[in-house]
Amino acid sequence: MPIKVQSDLPAREILETENIFLMDEIRATHQDIRPLSIGILNLMPLKEDTELQLLRSLSNTPLQLDITFITVSSHQSKNTSRSHINQFYQTFEEVKDRYFDGLIITGAPLEQMEYEEVDFWPEMCQIFAWTDTHVTSTLHLCWGAQAGLYYYYGLKKYMLPEKLFGVFEHHVMNRKVPLVRGFDDDFMAPHSRHTEVRLADIKAVPGFTVLAESDEAGFFLGMAGKGRRIFVMGHPEYDRVTLDIEYKRDKQKGLPIRLPVNYYPQDDVTKRPRLQWRSHGNILYSNWLNYYVYQDTPYGFTNRNF
């Protein structure tokens, strides 16, 4: 898939070495098509890592994407340089009058805080409300999924006895829905979180369809509004070494952390982690783009009948 990004985005050079087709603004203007406008509200502290992971995940269909990275203005990142954010990101205030075919709301390391304690929560509420009139389909990831379930349906999150950390088996619950088309009956996906939204609470929401769940990790994938809102509780976009980096970081800080489940061969941290979720992660993002963004979005950006 050709993905339109700024020519000097640091992730671009890495993706090009992986033969992922990227184009800059000049080449994109010579394409006689309208690319899909995809916003990425990146709430993760290491924004460049998340940029790379998500652009990889979005690169597996022939659709052309025009990517806009978005940040909140009511919080200043401490782990990504201000120059990077100023150069490659726009604030919600700057994009709120635009229409997007798709929007991704990432996770954030805030799950142990109450939503109302998060400094940018009022801005998040504005963004959730804005998506109802300005975005064809919104994909909520991890904390973004928990926050969306709380905002739209009032579903509370609950602390887990210990961090849910590793790669877990999941089961497809409704394979007639296009979002899981091409999935096997059972598949693996990473989780890294301290809280959960209980599966029973989610299943009680009228009009909500649970598409995948895990005996160990609980809710993984579901949607409402015929795909206008999609919720993913794990991290199908993670790279092979993401959990490895998290584990070694927490160990170095002296934080209570167990080995990630089903990750290192023979639970040996010196061995290369097993990559067991990439194919289903790619299918998930491709299905979202194809069935809930591309096929449902009008050609024009404005005057949409949501």
Instruction: List per-residue pLDDT tens for the chain, 306 residues long.
Output: 456 666 667 766 665 565 455 555 544 444 446 689 999 999 998 888 999 999 989 988 888 899 999 999 876 777 677 888 889 999 999 999 999 999 999 999 888 899 999 999 999 999 999 999 999 999 999 999 999 999 999 999 999 999 999 999 999 999 899 999 999 999 999 999 999 999 999 999 999 999 999 999 999 999 998 999 999 999 999 999 999 999 999 999 998 899 999 999 999 999 999 999 999 999 999 999 999 998 766 555 544 555
Check if 246 is active-site. Answer: no
Check if 125 is active-site. Answer: no
| Helix, strand or coil, per DSSP, at residue 287 | helix
Check if 237 is active-site. Answer: yes
Q: Check 134, 140, 235, 280 and give the catalytic one.
A: 235
Q: Check 142, 191, 196, 213 and give the catalytic one.
A: 142
What number of other Cβ atoms are within 10 A of residue 257's Cβ? 16
d(CA 238, CA 191): 9
Contact 284, 236 (CB under 8 A): yes
pTM over 0.85: yes
d(CA 154, CA 210): 17
Where do the DSSP E strands lie in 142-284?
A: 158-172, 186-196, 209-214, 218-224, 229-232
Helices (H), the chain: 10-17, 25-28, 47-57, 82-88, 92-95, 121-134, 143-153, 199-203, 242-253, 278-287
Matching residue, tokens 């299918």: 283
